[in-house]
Amino acid sequence: MAERLAGKVALVTGASSGIGAATARLFAAEGAELALLARRPGPLSAIAQELGDGAITLPADVADSAQVAEAVAAAASRFGRIDVVVNCAGTLFAGRVEETDDAAWRRQLEVNLSGTFFVSREAAPRIPIGGSIVNLGSELSVMGMAMYAGYCASKAGVIGLTKALAAELAPDVRVNAICPGPVDTPMLTAELESFGPYDELHAETIERVPLRRLARAEEVAAGILFLAAEADYATGTTLELDGGTTSV
């Protein structure tokens, strides 16, 4: 198969680990030049070195609009344009409502929702006709789960934002969202370990998935690639890549 992103420039946030890193690797294999944005410079640099000269690093916190503006401007200056934006940066706090303090609530909204907006706002004027934005939603964009009020709210907001941007940027730029279920990433591992015995909670998580396994980050990256490079008639849509969790 020909490289589906040959000659394209992609900006990937949350690129230092998990789904963001898997997306960066897949996009590089598909021929894209990459602007990699994440908060931790060390892991971000390691990914960029792995991918070679076609990747640059943009250390920034997506929750900080000034940092985002500077990073996106640097990417556009380096490459001349941004063809694809993938908003993977995210954070999660799990706990009962009364345990969720103001800082935890705001941080989830600022990173998951405002961060997606800030990056999209800065990138949109630099995306040529035919480009696309892919936002990372979640199974919890469309279903509720106890202990995850802030995460559910922020990820539901991502879907609303996706649809609004799709309406505004059409017909020139497509905007879609992918909504994974539980994915085998460092964030999920840390989440389960915060609740108690990891092995028991890991098994319970798998049990609620009809396909009876966790997704791999690479599988989610493949869905992102489909939305970015192949789904030419899709905009304002969500791809529920959740192993069936939202269907049962």
Within-domain flag for 235: yes
Structure confidence by residue, pLDDT tens digits, 15-43: 999 999 999 999 999 999 999 999 999 99
User: Domains in the chain: how many in total?
Assistant: 1
Q: Residue 183 is encoded by which pair of tokens?
A: 């994915």
pLDDT at 1 over 60: no
Per-residue pLDDT, averaged over 90-111, amounts to 96
pLDDT of 65-79, one tens digit each?
999 999 999 999 999
Asked, for residue 192, whether it belongs to a domain, the answer is no
CA distance 163 to 91: 22
**Structure tokens that stand for 79 in this block:** 């490459």
Active site residues: 151
Whether residue 224 contacts residue 23, with contact meaning beta carbons closer than 8 Å, is answered with yes
pLDDT in tens, 174-190: 999 999 999 998 888 88
**164 occurs within a structural domain:** yes
Whether the Cβ atoms of residue 88 and residue 12 lie closer than 8 Å to each other? yes
pLDDT at position 139: 97
CATH number of the domain encompassing residue 151: 3.40.50.720
d(CA 101, CA 140): 20
Q: Where are the beta strands (DSSP E) in 107-199?
A: 132-136, 174-180, 183-184
pLDDT digits (tens, 9 = 90+) for 191-227: 888 887 888 889 999 999 999 999 999 999 999 999 9
**pTM given for the model:** 0.95
Asked, for residue 111, whether it belongs to a domain, the answer is: yes
What letter represents residue 234's amino acid? A
Per-residue model confidence (pLDDT) at position 34: 98
Residue 2 has what pLDDT?
66
118 is a domain residue: yes
**Is 35 among the domain residues?**
yes
What is the domain range of residue 52?
9-181+217-241
CA-to-CA distance for 51 and 44, rounded, in angstroms?
11
Residue 101 lies in a domain: yes
Structural contact between residues 92 and 139, judged by C-beta atoms closer than 8 angstroms: no
- 139-149 in b/e form (b: 16+ CB < 10 A) is bbbbeeeeebb
